[in-house]
C-alpha cells in the first residue's frame, strides 16, 4: 500500500507541473483522493475543468484495461459511473481533458473490497460438558482476504485470532474461516461465543470494517442420575395402587418416559409424565418398569421391578382314584394352589388332638397299600409370603367286614322265661351295616336290633331257632348264625336260677343272701309276679 501511495503522489507532481504552465486552464477530479468502494455499490468519478470553453474529456485506466463504467459528458464536466462496482473496477482511473492545444490529466485510485455478511458460527455438534466440539467461524465472500482478521472469543476472552496473509494470484471473493476445538466445562454454560471479523481496508483512516456475530453457548448435559422413587413399595398385592416418580438430571431438563418391558423384550410406552400411577394392580402388572430421561444430547435409564403378589387363591385337591378306597389300594392326592409367588405345598394329616402331622412337601401325596388306619383327614396347605390357603379331604379306607361275632347271652341254651340277648359285633370296621335275622320257614324275619343287639324278654319256646347276622359294606359281606335252644319249665312261675341262689345261699352270710333275695324280688316285681314263699321253698 505505501508503495502505491508513492506512485500516486509522483503522478500528481507531474500533473501539477503541466498545470503550472497554463494558469487559466484547470482540471479537478472528485473525489479528490482515493475512493474505496464495496462490490455492488455504485460510485461516480467526476472530472471538471475551468478556463476552457469546450473541453474534450476522456477516461482510461492506468494499465489500459476496460473502464467497466459509463461516461457522461456535460459541458465542462465528465462523470464516470460504476454501477454496480465489481472487482474489475479496482484501478487507477485517469481523466484527460484537451482544450485546444492544451492537455491536462488527473488520476484517482479506486479500491475495491467485499465484506457483505456477518460471520457465521457453526458447531460440529451440540455443546456438551466434557465433550470436545469444533467451532467454525466463517466469513463469506471476502476481498481482499489478506486484510482479513478473524477472532473467536468465549465470554470475554479471546480464544484464537487468525489472519490470511498468503497472496492469491487472482482477484476473487473468498470465504475464510477459523476453527477452534475445545471441551466445554460447566462454567461455559450461558457464556457468549463471539466471532469477530475485521477487514483492514484503510490504515490511514484507521477505521476498519468490523462485523461480529454472537452465539450464546447453549451447553447441554446428557441425562444422568436418573432416580426412581416408588410409593408405597415395589412389593404389592393384587388390587393395590402404586405411584412411581422418576427424576433425571440434565440440560435441558430431560423429558421422562415411562415404559414397561414386555416378555418379548420390547418396551411398551406408558406415560410421558414423571409420575406414573398404576391402580387396581393385577398379577400381570408384575414386571420391569423403565424410566428414561431423554434430552437433545442423550438418554439415561433406570429400571424398577414390581411384584404384584396374589394371596394363595383356591387350593384344590384331586384324588385318584377316589377318597373312598378298599384296603390295599393306592391313592394319589394331588394338591394345587394358585398364587404369586407360587405357593409351597405342605401335606399333613390331621390328628385326633387337632394337631397337624407334616407328611410331604410334594404336590402329590401317594399312599400305597392303604390300611384302614390310613383313614382320616388329610390337609393340604398352599403357603407363600402373603398367606396360607388350606384344603382338607377325608380319606376312607374300606375294609370288608371281618371278625364278625354272633353271640347269645347268657347262653345259646336257655330256659323258657329267661332273658336272652343276641348280639352281633363286627370288629372295628366302619361303614358296616349289620342286619339281625331269624329263620322263619323258608325265609327270614328281620329283627329290630339296636347296635347289633336284640333282646328277647322272657323267652318262649318259639324263640328257639336259627339266628343269623348279616354284616356288609360296599366292599364285602359276612354271615354268622347261631341256634338258640329254649327249654320248657316244670313250673312257669319260677324265674330265678336255682344255681344262683345255691351259689349265694351256700355262703354263710345270711344277710347278704337276704339282700340278694330282696334284689331278685325287686327285679321279679318289675317283671310282674313274684312269690317269696315259693322262692324260699325252692331254695330248701
Contact 164, 176 (CB under 8 A): yes
Nearer to ligand NAG, 365 or 424 (CB): 365
Taking the least distance from each CB to ligand NAG, the nearer of 331 and 426 is: 331
Contact at 8 Å (CB) between 332 and 366?
Answer: yes
User: Is 481 one of the binding residues for ligand NAG (CB under 6 A)?
Assistant: no
Write the DSSP string, 218-245.
-EEEEEEEEEEEEES-SEEETT--EEEE
Reading the block at residue 536, the C-alpha cell is 324260699
List the one residue from 134, 158, 273, 385 that touches ligand NAG (CB under 6 A): 273
Q: Which is nearer to ligand NAG, 190 or 498 (CB)?
A: 190
- How far is Cα 239 from Cα 283, in angstroms, rounded to an integer? 9
Stretch that binds ligand NAG, among 53-61, 158-166, 176-184, 328-336 (CB under 6 A): 328-336
CB-nearer residue toward ligand NAG: 297 or 383? 383
The gap from C-alpha 471 to its chain's centroid, in whole angstroms, comes to 68
Of positions 38, 56, 102, 271, contacts ligand NAG by CB under 6 A: 271
For the bound state, the minimum distance from the C-beta of residue 271 to ligand NAG, rounded and expressed in Å, comes to 4
Nearest approach, Cβ of residue 322 and ligand NAG (Å): 9
Give the phi and the psi of residue 102 in degrees, each rounded to 5: -100, 150
Q: Which stretch binds ligand NAG (CB under 6 A): 66-74, 266-274, 407-415, 426-434?
A: 266-274
Is 243 among the residues that bind ligand NAG (CB under 6 A)? Answer: no
**330 is an interface residue for ligand NAG by CB under 6 A:** yes
Q: Is residue 368 a contact point for ligand NAG (CB under 6 A)?
A: no
Site for ligand NAG in 291-320 (CB under 6 A): 320
Distance of CA 430 to the CA centre of its chain: 59
What is the nearest approach in angstroms of ligand NAG to the Cβ of residue 321?
5
Q: Which stretch binds ligand NAG (CB under 6 A): 22-30, 326-334, 385-393, 517-525?
A: 326-334
For ligand NAG, the closer of residues 123 and 447 by Cβ is: 123
Window of 87-95, 265-273, 297-305, 501-509 that interacts with ligand NAG by CB under 6 A: 265-273
Interhelix angle for 498-505 vs 510-527, to 10°? 160
Size of the site for ligand NAG (CB under 6 A): 14
Asked if 181 and 87 count as a contact pair (C-beta separation under 8 A), the reply is no
Answer for which of 102, 360, 419, 425 binds ligand NAG (CB under 6 A) is: 360
Angstrom distance (rounded) from CA 18 to CA 67: 25
What is the smallest separation between the CB atom of 401 and ligand NAG, expressed in angstroms? 24
Which phi and psi angles does 380 have, rounded to 5°? -110, 130
| Full DSSP string of 153-174 | EETTEEEEEEE--PPPSS---E
Take residue 371 and report the three cell numbers written for it.
390300611
**362 forms part of the interface with ligand NAG (CB under 6 A):** yes
Residues linked to residue 214 through DSSP beta bridges, in sequence order: 194
List binders of ligand NAG among 120-159 (CB under 6 A).
155-156
The Cα angle at residue 104 between residues 7 and 79, in degrees rounded to 5: 90
Among 12, 124, 322, 366, interactor with ligand NAG by CB under 6 A: 366
Separation of alpha carbons 240 and 222, rounded Å:
35
Tell me the three cell numbers of residue 428. Answer: 372295628
Q: Which of 50, 332, 411, 497 binds ligand NAG (CB under 6 A)?
A: 332
Tell me which stretch binds ligand NAG (CB under 6 A): 144-152, 267-275, 380-388, 403-411: 267-275
Hey, CA dihedral for 162, 168, 173, 174, is it positive or negative? negative
> Of the candidates 272, 392, 394, 403, which one interacts with ligand NAG according to CB under 6 A?
272
Q: Considering the complex, state which of residue 268 and residue 366 has its C-beta at the smaller distance from ligand NAG.
A: 366
CA distance linking residue 465 with residue 454, whole number of Å: 14
Site string for ligand NAG, 163-202 (x = CB under 6 A): -----------------------------x----------
Strands in 364-456 per DSSP E:
364-367, 376-384, 387-398, 404-409, 413-415, 420-426, 433-440, 443-446, 453-456
Given 40, 252, 321, 512, the residue binding ligand NAG (CB under 6 A): 321
In order, the DSSP letters of 296-310 are TTEEEEEEEEEEEEB
CB-count exposure of residue 195 (10 Å: 0-12, 13-18, 19+): buried
CB 219 within 8 A of CB 131: no
In the complex, least distance from residue 360 CB atom to ligand NAG, rounded to whole angstroms: 4
Q: Which among 141-149, 270-278, 389-397, 489-497 is the span making contact with ligand NAG, rule CB under 6 A? A: 270-278
Neighbouring-strand partners of residue 235: 307
In this complex, which beta carbon is closest to ligand NAG, that of residue 332 or of residue 492? 332
> Residue 178 is placed in which grid cell?
477459523
Bridge partners of 478, per DSSP, are 471
Least distance in Å: CB of 382 to ligand NAG? 17
Chain residues binding ligand NAG by CB under 6 A are 155-156, 192, 271-273, 320-321, 330-332, 360, 362, 366
Amino acid at each position: 500500500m505505501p508503495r502505491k501511495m508513492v506512485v500516486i503522489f509522483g503522478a500528481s507532481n507531474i500533473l501539477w507541473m503541466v498545470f503550472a504552465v497554463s494558469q487559466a486552464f484547470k482540471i479537478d477530479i472528485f473525489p479528490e483522493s482515493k475512493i474505496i468502494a464495496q462490490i455492488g455499490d455504485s460510485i461516480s468519478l467526476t472530472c471538471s475543468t475551468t478556463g476552457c470553453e469546450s473541453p474534450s474529456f476522456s477516461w482510461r485506466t492506468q494499465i489500459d484495461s476496460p473502464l467497466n463504467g459509463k461516461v457522461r459528458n456535460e459541458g465542462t464536466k465528465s462523470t464516470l459511473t460504476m454501477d454496480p462496482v465489481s472487482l474489475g473496477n479496482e484501478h487507477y482511473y485517469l481523466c484527460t481533458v484537451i482544450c485546444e492545444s492544451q492537455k491536462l490529466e488527473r488520476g484517482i485510485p479506486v479500491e475495491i473490497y467485499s465484506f457483505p455478511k456477518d460471520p457465521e458460527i457453526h458447531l460440529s455438534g451440540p455443546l456438551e460438558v466434557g465433550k470436545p466440539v469444533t467451532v467454525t467461524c466463517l466469513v463469506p465472500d471476502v476481498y481482499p482476504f489478506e486484510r482479513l482478521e478473524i477472532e473467536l472469543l468465549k465470554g470475554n476472552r479471546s480464544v484464537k485470532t487468525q489472519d490470511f496473509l498468503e497472496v492469491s494470484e487472482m482477484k476473487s471473493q473468498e470465504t475464510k474461516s477459523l476453527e477452534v476445538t475445545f471441551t466445554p466445562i460447566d462454567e461455559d454454560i450461558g457464556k457468549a461465543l463471539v466471532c469477530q471479523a475485521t477487514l483492514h481496508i484503510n490504515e490511514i483512516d484507521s477505521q476498519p470494517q468490523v462485523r461480529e456475530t454472537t452465539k450464546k453457548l447453549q451447553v447441554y448435559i446428557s441425562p444422568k442420575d436418573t432416580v426412581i422413587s416408588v410409593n408405597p413399595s415395589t412389593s404389592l398385592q393384587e388390587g393395590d395402587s402404586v405411584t412411581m416418580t422418576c427424576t433425571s438430571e440434565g440440560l435441558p431438563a430431560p423429558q421422562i418416559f415411562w415404559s414397561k418391558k414386555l416378555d418379548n423384550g420390547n418396551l411398551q410406552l406408558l406415560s410421558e409424565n414423571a409420575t406414573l400411577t398404576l391402580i387396581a394392580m393385577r398379577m400381570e402388572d408384575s414386571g420391569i418398569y423403565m424410566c428414561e430421561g431423554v434430552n437433545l444430547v442423550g438418554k439415561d435409564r433406570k429400571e424398577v421391578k414390581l411384584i404384584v403378589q396374589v394371596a394363595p387363591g383356591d387350593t384344590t385337591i384331586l384324588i385318584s382314584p377316589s377318597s373312598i378306597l378298599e384296603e390295599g389300594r393306592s391313592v394319589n392326592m394331588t394338591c394345587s394352589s394358585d398364587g404369586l409367588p407360587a405357593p409351597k405345598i405342605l401335606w399333613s394329616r390331621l390328628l385326633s388332638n387337632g394337631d397337624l402331622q407334616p407328611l410331604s412337601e410334594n404336590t402329590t401325596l401317594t399312599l400305597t397299600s392303604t390300611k384302614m388306619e390310613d383313614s382320616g383327614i388329610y390337609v393340604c396347605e398352599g403357603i407363600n409370603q402373603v398367606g396360607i390357603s388350606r384344603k382338607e379331604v377325608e380319606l376312607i379306607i374300606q375294609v370288608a367286614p371281618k371278625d364278625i361275632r354272633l353271640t347269645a347271652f347268657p347262653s345259646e341254651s336257655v330256659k323258657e322265661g329267661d332273658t336272652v340277648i343276641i348280639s352281633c359285633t363286627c370288629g372295628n370296621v366302619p361303614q358296616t351295616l349289620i342286619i339281625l335275622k331269624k329263620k322263619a320257614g323258608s325265609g327270614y324275619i328281620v329283627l329290630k336290633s339296636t347296635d347289633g343287639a336284640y333282646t328277647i324278654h322272657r323267652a318262649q319256646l318259639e324263640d328257639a331257632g336259627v339266628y343269623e347276622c348279616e354284616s356288609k359294606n360296599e366292599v364285602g359281606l359276612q354271615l354268622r348264625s347261631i341256634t338258640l335252644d329254649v327249654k320248657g319249665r316244670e313250673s312257669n312261675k319260677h324265674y330265678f336260677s336255682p344255681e344262683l341262689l345255691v351259689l349265694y345261699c351256700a355262703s354263710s352270710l345270711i344277710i347278704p343272701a337276704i339282700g340278694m333275695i330282696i334284689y331278685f324280688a325287686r327285679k321279679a316285681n318289675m317283671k310282674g309276679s313274684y312269690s317269696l314263699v315259693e322262692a324260699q321253698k325252692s331254695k330248701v
